Amino acid sequence: MPAKIIQTNDKPFAAVAVDSITLDIVENALRNARAEMDAVLFRTAMSPGIREQHDAFPMIANQEGKMIVGQFGSFIYGFIEGYEGTIEEGDIFLTNDPYSCNGAVSHLNDWLTMMPIYHEGQIVSWAAMFGHMTDIGGKVPGSLPTDAAQIFEEGLQIPPVKIFRKGELNQELHALLLRNCRMPHWNRADFDAIVAALRLAERRVHEIIARFGVDGYIAAMGDMLDRNRRAMSAIIQMVIPEKKQSFEDYIDDDGVGMGPYRIACTMWREGDKAIFDFSGTDPQSVSSINFLLNEEMFKMFFGAFLINLFDPQILFNDGFYELVDVRIPEGCILKPRRPAALSCRTHLLGRIFDIMGAVLGQGAPDALNAAGFSDSPHLMYSGYTDSGEWYQLFQIGFGGIPGRPVGDGPDGHSLWPAFTNVPNEFLESYFPLRIVEYASIADSGGPGLHRGGNGVRTVYEFLADGEISIHDDRWLTYPWGVNSGQPGGRSSKRLVRPDGSGEWLPSKCDRIKVKTGDLLYYDTWGGGGWGDPLARPSDLVALDCRRGLITRDGARRYGVVLRDNLSVDTAATDALRGRMAAERPAVAPLFNRGGSIDELRARCLAETHLEPPRPPTFAKWMGKAAA
């Protein structure tokens, strides 16, 4: 049964008309409140994942729980329908259990808080915020075990609970949560910062109501939802065809030796509704790469993609969600059954963006992006210093953004546009390591008329004995190119000892012992190229070379011959481009994956001597046993 909402004032809100100027003022006030929530959090949290990299997401919703401003969609409505308890003024709810909120958060490290905002005894809004905690217990530091077979191995599960009840902190529960993590002072500070952000949203909502009245505030939020729905309806009618379009991509491996895993998506339109069907996606994994994809979260991905493509001024909210139907088969790798492990879902989360871009772009290839939003690589480093103090790093790496219709993909950028890197000075100040090199990887961006962005090489020198965990992907499959563009470079990880000996590391591994003086070469993927590389202006290729983004040999992939002084040899370039054009197929495929899976397996073994993954063996999950 749904939650029992305690309100001392049940007077219905009056239906009032809001003029366009007032509507814009309220809209921008809420946008600013959302930005202030971020500012409070980032200036108050302690963990580098939140403080420096901004791995946290705010939301302000209306009285029904529909997102008005924010990023991750209307999970509050589902929470209200599924929570069997009371909701009262002063309550703040906390959960990190993806299975309790249908994937509103997708692994246990994300602590989700939700707070009803009351005015004169009535709920008028909701505020929510979640952030990635560096550690929440479990079998490995960082709480993201690659080889976990069940969610019980990944840390403490928190069902939806009242962490604040009528304004009072539940001290015993709070102490229990902190006791079960390796960095309790970080968790305490990050949690306090999240709560402070909620309180800030509450103050701003009260200020808006004081200026425009509660009925005007409620009506303005309704108008914002309606405005978003109308705008998105027009875009969906324009870009989503009635004819079905399909695409498949892969997660390279599961960290326990099997892969790749197929993700399949088919898209079409029926009337004014866009439909995304993931039938054909492989069953859930026996390891922790499963991703419990919340349907509302996918709608958020879809909406953000279209809004940024067509009109970034459109306020992104839940207004259009009824125009999208998302179908994900139960028991597949995108909707695993409990208690399947989820901690390393980041690879699938990144791959969804590649797949969405591919399926949306097939009907309009000129507007199609290449692959590059491919992953969100993680590095964990932990141990004890000589003085006996525990240290623990969690860091998200960046890769190459895909070539696009409008130009080259940025080099070394984040999957999430709002994310920032952890400054090297911060890392060297707070952890026993030194950054020896931090640079763009020349030639890792896929060649094209518009070049894919380069990946990033970070060379870490460890200054204390410890252990590392690595979570990455795109080491087997390439980020594909489009419209005759070529694939981007793959990721790799290599550990080099002080005596010069070294070993290639898997892209997903835990508890790798490192010693003082060891070097870790941490290379991320490049974005795929867009368009014919032979059409890229030769002087632009020469400029890329002078900037260190490509090499002289790499320039030849564009059919450009450079002299020793890196100027263009025009005659040699024309001859080379002529030969390359004559030797290639007359009609290039829309997507260039760099070869079949079998060819990629053989190439990977030859290049890194890492054993390629074997075809997956899928576990049979019984519904009752897993419920």
Do 431 and 352 share a domain, yes or no? yes
Q: Is residue 156 part of a domain?
A: yes
- Does the pLDDT of residue 546 top 60, yes or no? yes
What stretch of H or E contains 437? strand 433-440
Q: Is residue 316 part of a domain?
A: no
- Does the pLDDT of residue 257 top 90, yes or no? yes
Stated pTM of the model: 0.93
269 DSSP β-pair partners: 274
- Does the pLDDT of residue 420 top 60, yes or no? yes
Confidence of residue 290 (pLDDT cuts 50, 70, 90): very high
Do 201 and 282 share a domain, yes or no? no
Do 261 and 156 share a domain, yes or no? no
pLDDT at 76: 86
The DSSP-derived string for 366-401 is GG---S------EEEEEEE-TTS-EEEEEEE--BPP
pLDDT at 620: 58
Is 10 or 335 the better-scoring residue by pLDDT?
335
Q: Is residue 570 part of a domain?
A: yes
Q: Is residue 306 part of a domain?
A: no
pLDDT at 231: 93
- Does the pLDDT of residue 310 top 80, yes or no? no
Domain that holds residue 170: 4-232
- Does the pLDDT of residue 418 top 80, yes or no? no
pLDDT tens sequence across 104-132: 889 999 999 999 999 999 999 999 999 99
Do 503 and 612 share a domain, yes or no? yes
pLDDT at 417: 66
pLDDT at 305: 81
Do 255 and 221 share a domain, yes or no? no
Q: CA-to-CA distance for 626 and 314, rounded, in angstroms?
A: 42
pLDDT at 619: 63
pLDDT at 73: 66
Is 117 or 306 the better-scoring residue by pLDDT?
117
Q: CA-to-CA distance for 366 and 183, rounded, in angstroms?
A: 49
pLDDT tens sequence across 157-187: 999 999 999 999 999 999 999 999 999 999 9
Q: CA-to-CA distance for 562 and 572, rounded, in angstroms?
A: 9
User: Nearest Cα to 626, choosing from 343, 345, 335, 336?
Assistant: 336
pLDDT at 309: 74
Give the mean pLDDT of 361-388. Answer: 89
Across all residues in the chain, what is the average pLDDT?
93
Which residues fall within 8 angstroms of residue 75, CB to CB, at 6 or more apart? 101, 102, 104, 112, 128, 294, 296, 297
- Does the pLDDT of residue 626 top 50, yes or no? no
Do 147 and 112 share a domain, yes or no? yes
Distance set, CA 23 to CA 123, 225, 366, 408 (Å): 20, 11, 36, 37
Q: Is residue 521 part of a domain?
A: yes
pLDDT tens sequence across 495-514: 999 999 999 999 999 999 99
Which residues fall within 8 angstroms of residue 96, CB to CB, at 6 or more apart? 105, 108, 109, 110, 111, 112, 133, 136, 156, 157, 158
Domain count, the chain: 3
- Does the pLDDT of residue 101 top 90, yes or no? no
pLDDT at 296: 86
Q: Is residue 135 part of a domain?
A: yes
pLDDT at 414: 80
pLDDT tens sequence across 259-274: 999 999 999 999 999 9
Q: Is residue 49 part of a domain?
A: yes
| 573 phi, psi to nearest 5 deg | -65, -45
Share of the chain above pLDDT 70, in %: 98
Do 581 and 506 share a domain, yes or no? no
Q: Is residue 388 part of a domain?
A: yes
pLDDT tens sequence across 337-372: 999 999 999 999 889 989 999 999 888 888 899 998
- Does the pLDDT of residue 458 top 70, yes or no? yes
Min mean pLDDT across 46-55, 68-77, 362-371, 420-429 is at 68-77
Q: Which of 211, 232, 253 is the last residue before a domain boundary?
A: 232
User: Nearest Cα to 103, choosing from 267, 357, 294, 234?
Assistant: 294
Do 558 and 482 share a domain, yes or no? no
Do 550 and 441 share a domain, yes or no? no
- Does the pLDDT of residue 391 top 80, yes or no? yes
pLDDT at 610: 86
Do 270 and 139 share a domain, yes or no? no
pLDDT at 623: 42
Do 528 and 550 share a domain, yes or no? no
Do 262 and 353 share a domain, yes or no? yes
Confidence of residue 573 (pLDDT cuts 50, 70, 90): very high
